[in-house]
Structures are given as structure tokens and as C-alpha cells.
């Protein structure tokens, strides 16, 4: 018995040595039930659906959600968001500062960036700017924060990604992480000093709306891109709770977050009106349907829809409500939804 136990221990040791502990070096494991386990974000890619989640799992459906295939992913870091610029080119981001890219509609992915490179990039950028302006209090604070990030290692997640086209995009994340690319992710530039975010609040979402580009974040943070100054300026919403997402309501922008709170602006962020979403729990996601309807989902599984540009909302009854992490329009008046039991495609009933 002793000899058998020693052999088992030796096998376990060899197996552990063969599988890298670092999720940045360990490819995502293939699982036949990946589409039925926790997933965090979903998007529509032409006629496809692509969803991402923990341990580097990415699943793709080419038949409107009837069946799913797991993609090949070079890391096992948790993935938090996914966005496609067209039917083929897409990006996913997540923990450990990971940025992944796909050129085949989500079936295979390559790593463009990770937290180690992100830390080096940010620190080099702010140090160079401090050298040119050594008395700047803002730059001194940024360098101190960037040095702390570097010491802590690649532990900070990206939380959202958005691309304007095939080459120009942004990623945002924890503690003011903000990067831009103009070549499809081949190279990235730090915007750590180009966000009016002196408390280094988490940046949860970046999306265009009503002709502007907005970031929503922790502690009521809302930033809007000034394209001339090439920086994100703070926008006052008069709300101290975290805002997790942004919806484009045509001629208005909607930001939403904790405890069903949402705020609408029809004047480029100058003034905001609190909207009754009919949702009692934290709103986690939004999508826009074919005819311009805005759909919101909260973490308790409730869904609300607006037919008037996010001015008012009606609850959509569901036969079975399960926790949700994200939704996306799936075409044909259906919604793709992710949560602890994977991704499903549903056809909501008419609003109450």
C-alpha cells in the first residue's frame, strides 16, 4: 500500500509540474459543459453568439444558441467582457490584465497583452512625462500609483473593451486602467493620465452613446471623451453609487448600476434625470433591439424594456427567473443571457 501511495504522489507531482500554475501560461481547459457553467458576458457577432467567462472559457454558437462550441484560448484567466468590430475581428478582456484577439469570429484567440506588459507600459509612460514636468503633483501621484501596480504584479483586471472599427479601440479596468490602440491591438498606449479620475476609481464600462464616448465606473464615476483634448473629462451625475454600464438611447445616454439606479441625459451629459427602471436589484447589462428598444437586466434575473428612448421602462414577465450577468440581442426578438448556468437564448413575453 505504501508503494502505491508513493507512486500516486509522484504522479501528482509530475502532473502539477507539467501544468503551469500561472493562468497567463496555462491554456483554457476544454470542457463539454462549458456553455452550461458560469459565463459573464455575451455578444452577437453577425449570426453568431459569443460568450466568455471564468478560466478562459469562450463558447460560440452558429445556430442561434441551439448548440455551442468551446473556443481555443491561450490563457485560463477569468474573462469579463467581449466585443467585436465586425463578423470576424473581436477582442476579449479579463483578469490578470489580459487582452485577447480573434480574427475568425471567436473560434480561436491570441493574447495581445497581459498585466505584466500593462504595468510596464503605464509606468514607462508616466515616468517619461514626469521627467519632462518633474514638479507636476498630478504626475507625481500617477507615478507613485503606477509603481505600486508594478510591485503588486499582474493582478488587476480589465472590465470592458470597445472598438470603434477594426483598428481603433479602448480597454478599461480596475483602478483607472485605460489603454488605447490604433492598430488593432498590435500596440497599446497608456491613457492612465488622460482620465479625470483622481481617486483611481474602477472603470467598469466604455461605450458610445448619443454621439459621445462614455465610461461608467465606481462611486458614480462618469467620464466623457473630449476628442480635441484626447482625454476623458469627468461628468457630474450627482450619484455616489457604482455605475456598471452604458446604453445608447438614440438621442440620449443612459448609465445604470446599483439597486436598479439609472440616469438619462439628452444634452451630452450636462444634466441627468433619474429613471424608474422597475428593477430593484443591481442592473448588470443592457442591449438594444432591432426597433430601438432598450432592454435592461438586473442580477436577480428581471428584465425591463423601454420603447421611448429609455424615458420609461416596463417589466417583461419571465416564466423562470435566474440570476443574470449579461444580455445581448440575439435577433428575431430574442435575447441571449448569461449567468451561473451558462448561456441561454430566450424569447421574452410581452411587457406587462
So what's the pLDDT on residue 224? 98
| Among the listed residues 251, 259, 233, 352, the one whose alpha carbon sits nearest the alpha carbon of residue 294 | 251
Q: Give the integer Cα–Cα distance in Å for 304 and 55.
A: 31
| Among the listed residues 175, 188, 167, 272, the one whose alpha carbon sits nearest the alpha carbon of residue 219 | 175
Element (H, E) at 170: strand 169-173
Q: Give the integer Cα–Cα distance in Å for 246 and 285.
A: 8
C-alpha distances in angstroms, 296 versus 38, 80, 142?
20, 18, 36
Element (H, E) at 102: strand 98-102
Residues in Cβ contact with 117 at an 8 Å cutoff, skipping those fewer than 6 apart: 97
This prediction has a pTM of 0.93
Residues in Cβ contact with 124 at an 8 Å cutoff, skipping those fewer than 6 apart: none
So what's the pLDDT on residue 18? 52
Which residues pair with residue 304 across a beta bridge? Answer: 296, 315
Element (H, E) at 13: helix 2-18
Q: Give the integer Cα–Cα distance in Å for 103 and 72.
A: 12
Query: What's phi and psi for 89, nearest 5 deg?
Result: -90, 120
- pLDDT tens string for the chain (352 positions)? 333 333 444 433 433 445 568 999 999 999 999 999 999 999 999 999 999 999 999 999 999 999 999 999 999 999 999 999 999 999 999 999 999 999 999 999 999 999 999 999 999 999 999 999 999 999 999 999 999 999 999 999 999 999 999 999 999 999 999 999 999 999 999 999 999 999 999 999 999 999 999 999 999 999 999 999 999 999 999 999 999 999 999 999 999 999 999 999 999 999 999 999 999 999 999 999 988 999 999 999 999 999 999 999 999 988 777 899 999 999 988 999 999 999 999 887 654 4
Contact 262, 274 (CB under 8 A): yes
| Among the listed residues 32, 80, 36, the one whose alpha carbon sits nearest the alpha carbon of residue 55 | 80
Which residues pair with residue 287 across a beta bridge? Answer: 295
| Among the listed residues 88, 14, 25, 12, the one whose alpha carbon sits nearest the alpha carbon of residue 56 | 25
* DSSP per-residue string spanning 30-83: P-TTGGGS---EEEEETTEEEEE-GGG-EEEESSTTSS-EEPB-S--S-EEEEE
So what's the pLDDT on residue 201? 98
So what's the pLDDT on residue 8? 41
**3-class DSSP state for residue 21?**
coil
Grid coordinates standing for 301? Answer: 434575473
So what's the pLDDT on residue 5? 38
Q: Give the integer Cα–Cα distance in Å for 160 and 82.
A: 7
3-state secondary structure 240-265: CCCEEEEEECCCCEEEEEHHHCEEEE
Amino acid at each position: 500500500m505504501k508503494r502505491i501511495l508513493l507512486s500516486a504522489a509522484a504522479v501528482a507531482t509530475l502532473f502539477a509540474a507539467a501544468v503551469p500554475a500561472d493562468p497567463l501560461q496555462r491554456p483554457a481547459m476544454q470542457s463539454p459543459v462549458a456553455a452550461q457553467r458560469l459565463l459573464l458576458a455575451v455578444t452577437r457577432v453577425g449570426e453568431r453568439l459569443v460568450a466568455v467567462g471564468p478560466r478562459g472559457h469562450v463558447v460560440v454558437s452558429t445556430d442561434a444558441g441551439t448548440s455551442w462550441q468551446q473556443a481555443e484560448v491561450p490563457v485560463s484567466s477569468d474573462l469579463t467582457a467581449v466585443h467585436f468590430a465586425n463578423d470576424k475581428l473581436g477582442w476579449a478582456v479579463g483578469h490578470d490584465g489580459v487582452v485577447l484577439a480573434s480574427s475568425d469570429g471567436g473560434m480561436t484567440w491570441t493574447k495581445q497583452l497581459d498585466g505584466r506588459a500593462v504595468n510596464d507600459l503605464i509606468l514607462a509612460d508616466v515616468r517619461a512625462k514626469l521627467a519632462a514636468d518633474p514638479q507636476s503633483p498630478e504626475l507625481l501621484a500617477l507615478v507613485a500609483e503606477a509603481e505600486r501596480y508594478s510591485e503588486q504584479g499582474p493582478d488587476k483586471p480589465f472590465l470592458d473593451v470597445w472598438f470603434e472599427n477594426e483598428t481603433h479601440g479602448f480597454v478599461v479596468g480596475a483602478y483607472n486602467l485605460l489603454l488605447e490602440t490604433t492598430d488593432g491591438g498590435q500596440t497599446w498606449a497608456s491613457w492612465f493620465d488622460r482620465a479625470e479620475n483622481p481617486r483611481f476609481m474602477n472603470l467598469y464600462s466604455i461605450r458610445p452613446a448619443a454621439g459621445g464616448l462614455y465610461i461608467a465606473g465606481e462611486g458614480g464615476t462618469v467620464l466623457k471623451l473630449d476628442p480635441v483634448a484626447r482625454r476623458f473629462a469627468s461628468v457630474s451625475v450627482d450619484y455616489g453609487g457604482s455605475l456598471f454600464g452604458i446604453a445608447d438611447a438614440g438621442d440620449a445616454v443612459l448609465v445604470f448600476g446599483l439597486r436598479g439606479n439609472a440616469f438619462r441625459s439628452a444634452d451630452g451629459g450636462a444634466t441627468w434625470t433619474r429613471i424608474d427602471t422597475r428593477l430593484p436589484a443591481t442592473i448588470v447589462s443592457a442591449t438594444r433591439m432591432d426597433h430601438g428598444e432598450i432592454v435592461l437586466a438586473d442580477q436577480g434575473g428581471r428584465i425591463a424594456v423601454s420603447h421611448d428612448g429609455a424615458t420609461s421602462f416596463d417589466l417583461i414577465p419571465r416564466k423562470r427567473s435566474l440570476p443574470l450577468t449579461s444580455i445581448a440581442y440575439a435577433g428575431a426578438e430574442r435575447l441571449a443571457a448569461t449567468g451561473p448556468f451558462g448561456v441561454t437564448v430566450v424569447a421574452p413575453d410581452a411587457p406587462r
